[in-house]
A and B are shown apart, each in its own frame.
Chain A
Amino acid sequence: MKAYIQGTGCVSAQDSSIFPETIREYEGDRLPVADPDYKQWIDIKQIRRMGRVIKMGVAASHISLQDAGVKMPDAIIMGTAYGCLADTGVFLNKLVTQQEDMLTPTAFIQSTHNTVGGQIALLLGCHAYNNTFVHGAFSLENALQDSLLFLEEDTSRKVLAGAVEEITDYSHTILSRFGLYKNGVAAGEGASFFVLGAEKDEQSQAELTAVEMLYKPASKEETGSHIEKFLNRNGLQPSDIDLLITGRNGGDDSYYEAIEADLFATQPVAKFKHLCGEFPTAAAFALWMVTGILKKQQVPPAIMVKGNAPSKVKRILIWNHQNTTHHSLILVSAC
């Protein structure tokens, strides 16, 4: 099953509407989102109470629906590894410091992982299928897979799929203590949404050809062979990939390099995390970027790692991994 990307929306460290013409540069180990004016999509009275990650999700989902010309999706399916960290942190802080006394409900209400999906549905008045995957670096991928399976049941449907993540001071401190942001790796956050349909029409911007996850491969060889088989199942060889986009983050990228040298020796290679930062659902930013590349047939030079930016792009493979244990493969084609 494949799908067509009918519209996209993104809130990231980059200016969502003008990328890739202008690229924002950041210093330090944190790439916060460039907040758009949320009043465009959310009532000003609600903005004050709403958690930041919810605002990002609502904004990105609305931009994608507008872009697709869809008012009411037939499903809202999203992914988030960490969920609503800010409100979780607020409630935990009060729970501990006030010894479980005099707590208020707002932070708790907004702390559940399905808050963003629920709020998007609430603001749209959308009674359709609604699901939230919370599986680390597989959260986006499962949301996309669930979308493809949902479209298979009824090809007339339009699915709103995406992912969100936020950095908070607590999470950044704790993840830094785990050693995640060493050697130039910067934390990221953001929201990216996509409107997916089973049928190609004049709105279609790119084809989401296939999605796959690989959990804890035993070796680099297994990963390489898995990637090759994934391409074969889609009637392709590694040499058919016009641009490989990997999740290198500036830290130890040797795993990517080894498999690139083996499978994709002659293919141009690009990266994206210097633009959005490292986070479990960062591949959603890559998918947003790739849709733009395929639609405009333009590859921004700032993303290239190896080889030259191709002038014509038909097929792009996004390969992201987290700690070499969670591999995500997203194959996207021009349409």
Chain B
Amino acid sequence: MSKGVWIAGGGVICGIGENLGACLDAFEKMQPGMATMEHLHSVHAQTFPVVEVKADNETLAERAGMPAHWSRTALLSMIAAKEAIQSSGIGELKQYRTGLVSANTVGGMDKTEHFMEAFLADPKKGRLKEVVHHECGSVTELVADALGIRHHVSTISTACSSAANALMYGARMIRSGMLDVVIAGGTDALTRFTLNGFNTLMILDQQKCRPFDDTRTGLNLGEGAGYVVLVSDAVAEKVKPWCKLSGFANANDAYHQTASSPEGIGNYKAMQGALSMAALEPADIDYINLHGTGTQNNDSSEGLAIERLFAPAFPPLSSTKSFTGHTLGASGGIEAVFAAFALKEGIIYPNAQFTTQMKELPFKPVTTFSRGNVLTHVMSNSFGFGGNCSSLVFSK
């Protein structure tokens, strides 16, 4: 357990930018990415704003170096993973025992839902190449094969916390000495399946989402991918790592299949467990990247769990989902990149669309972008369906 796990780099593509630099720019200029959907075809297009990656599949395929008929989930994944590897400066992956641990929630569903239109009319119809990558794991393998990764390839799906668990699993494999490098994170493209699913739960906001705001009425769905490059002590010595992944924990709320317990039992246990692994006190945390979806339920549970753990002193906190929307299986990866980079650069991200403090909470999120903060430990939260709650702690 004494072995360290380092973040050597990270890459992101989401609705506010095609790489990490573009995302930072959007944060600094206070430009959230919600808009009317252009690439997803849904009858709800005019009702629910989404945070789409502003590019069609042909453009993404060209950047990814992949065929445009593959699932958008794989294209996004490849683009973010490539940026992560480049930013890490570790050089050719071939020289290491490298793994890819990727998360997603619906695999190649963007293609499957199109296949089903023909298939349901006639089970002999529908092009099989549209369902050949339906499985979550298949999407990961397209990326692993393109990157030449063979030592370890795996996929995790625990709804909204998926990618945070990918970082944990990758970290465990590095600690145990099985691997030197793990590309860990997640990816998800917008699909009609998830859009309609969240609509049946009545938790989609028809306006821009307002995380941790008393007037919040739901979330906006987003899409994208985010990966960090986790490396062992030995590899970290050769590069300039961003920071350490010092603590992580996963707990289950065990309250309801889709709703969080009012007091956020799972959220509390995940944050507490991550602090405990990092041997830190709540007061040591300098910034929290909230799960902060903008639903009544999540923000209240997460907020009360933070109050219970951190009171009376609360670190600066914000939800970057107020810019990116909820990218589901990708969110833990995207936010891990944001959190690790914040720590490295002393950045605190703003919470957009905030006007009114939540009545039940003694704190409110940060609303302005700032650089030059002295950050030593940063926490990133990912909670979700199935009661799955995960927290990560990054340290200098």
A95 interfacial contact with B, CB 8 Å: yes
**Cα distance, A152 to B2, chains bound together (Å):** 13
For window 174-206 of chain B, which residues contact chain A by CB distance below 8 Å?
Answer: 175-176, 192-193, 196-197, 199-201
* B336 on interface, CB distance cutoff 8 Å: no
Q: Is A121 an interface residue (CB 8 A)?
A: yes
**CB-based contact B254/A139 at 8 Å:** no
Which of B124, B192, B255, B385: most chain A CB closer than 10 A? B385
Q: How far is the CB of A126 from chain B (nearest CB, A)?
A: 6
Q: Which residues of B contact A91 (CB under 8 A)?
A: 193, 196-197
Which of these, A113, A136, A138, contacts B105 with CB under 8 Å? A113
Distance in angstroms between the alpha carbons of A113 and B135 in the assembled complex: 11
Which of B150-158, B236-244, B314-322, B361-369 binds A?
Answer: B150-158
User: Does B350 count as interface, using CB distance less than 8 angstroms?
Assistant: no
Whether a CB of chain A sits under 8 angstroms from the CB of B136 is: yes
Q: Which of A103, A114, A134, A138 contacts B199 (CB 8 A)?
A: A103
Q: Is B1 an interface residue (CB 8 A)?
A: yes
Binds A, one of B10-18, B114-122, B210-218, B340-348: B114-122
Contact pick for B200, options A103, A131, A177, CB 8 Å: A103
B39 at the interface (CB under 8 A from A): no
Of chain A, the residue at the smallest CB distance from B172 is: A149
Interface hit among A75-83, A201-209, A257-265, A288-296 = A75-83
Least distance between B52 CB and chain A CB atoms (Å): 17
CA distance A96 to B385 in the complex (A): 24
The answer, yes or no, to whether A14 is at the interface (CB within 8 Å) is: no
B29 contacts A by Cβ under 8 Å: no
Knowing A103-B199, A133-B156, the reply to whether A128 touches B120 (Cβ < 8 A) is no
- When chains A and B are docked, how far (Å) is the Cα of A133 from the Cα of B104? 11
Q: For chain B, which range describes its interface: under 10, 10 to 19, 20 to 34, or 35 or more residues?
A: 35 or more
Find the B residue at minimum CB distance from A149: B172
**Option from A117, A130, A135 in Cβ contact (under 8 Å) with B140:** A135
Does B393 reach chain A (CB closer than 8 Å)?
Answer: no
Chain B residues numbered 118-148 whose CB sits less than 8 Å from any CB in chain A: 119-120, 123-124, 128, 131-132, 135-138, 140-141, 144-145
Chain A residues, Cβ within 8 Å of B112: 92
Q: B388 in the interface, Cβ–Cβ < 8 Å? A: yes
Number of A-B residue pairs having CB atoms within 8 Å of each other in the complex: 178
Q: Which of the residues B43, B158, B249 comes within 8 Å of A100, measured between beta carbons?
A: B43
* Contact indicator A108/B137 (Cβ below 8 Å): no
> Smallest CB–CB gap between A226 and chain B, Å?
11
- The residues of B that contact A150 with a CB separation of less than 8 Å are 172
Chain B contacts with A in 51-85, Cβ cutoff 8 A: none
Check if A110 is an interface residue, CB within 8 A of chain B: yes
B262 within 8 A of partner (CB): no
**Contact of A139 with B201 in the complex, beta carbons under 8 Å:** no
- A127 touches which of B117, B141, B265 (Cβ 8 Å): B265
* Contact of B387 with A by CB under 8 A: yes
The residues of B that contact A100 with a CB separation of less than 8 Å are: 42-44, 192, 196
Structural contact, A130 and B157, CB atoms closer than 8 A: no
Per-position binary interface string of chain A over residues 157-184, scored 1 when its CB falls under 8 Å from any chain B CB and 0 otherwise: 0000000000000100110011000000
Shortest distance from the beta carbon of A9 to any chain B beta carbon, whole Å: 20
CB of B251 within 8 A of chain A? Answer: yes
Contact A81 B135 (CB under 8 A): yes
CB neighbours of B172 from chain A (8 A): 146, 149-150, 153
A118 within 8 A of B: yes
Q: Cβ of B120 and Cβ of A112 under 8 Å apart?
A: no
Chain A positions near chain B (C-beta within 8 angstroms):
1, 76, 81-83, 91-93, 95-97, 99-101, 103-105, 108-115, 117-119, 121-122, 124-136, 138-139, 142, 146, 149-150, 152-153, 170, 173-174, 177-178, 213, 215-216
What are 29 A-to-B residue pairs whose CB atoms are below 8 Å?
A: A83-B157, A92-B116, A93-B116, A100-B42, A100-B43, A100-B44, A109-B257, A109-B258, A111-B197, A114-B159, A117-B388, A119-B386, A121-B252, A122-B254, A126-B252, A127-B252, A129-B249, A130-B386, A131-B250, A134-B137, A135-B154, A136-B141, A138-B137, A138-B154, A139-B137, A142-B169, A153-B172, A174-B131, A215-B144
Residues of B whose CB lies within 8 Å of any CB of A are 1, 42-44, 105, 107, 112-113, 116-117, 119-120, 123-124, 128, 131-132, 135-138, 140-141, 144-145, 150-159, 165, 169, 172-173, 175-176, 192-193, 196-197, 199-201, 249-258, 265-266, 269, 385-388
In addition to A81-B137, A127-B266, 14 A-B residue pairs with Cβ atoms within 8 Å of each other are: A81-B135, A82-B135, A83-B157, A96-B113, A96-B117, A103-B197, A117-B386, A118-B257, A119-B257, A133-B155, A134-B135, A134-B157, A135-B153, A216-B145
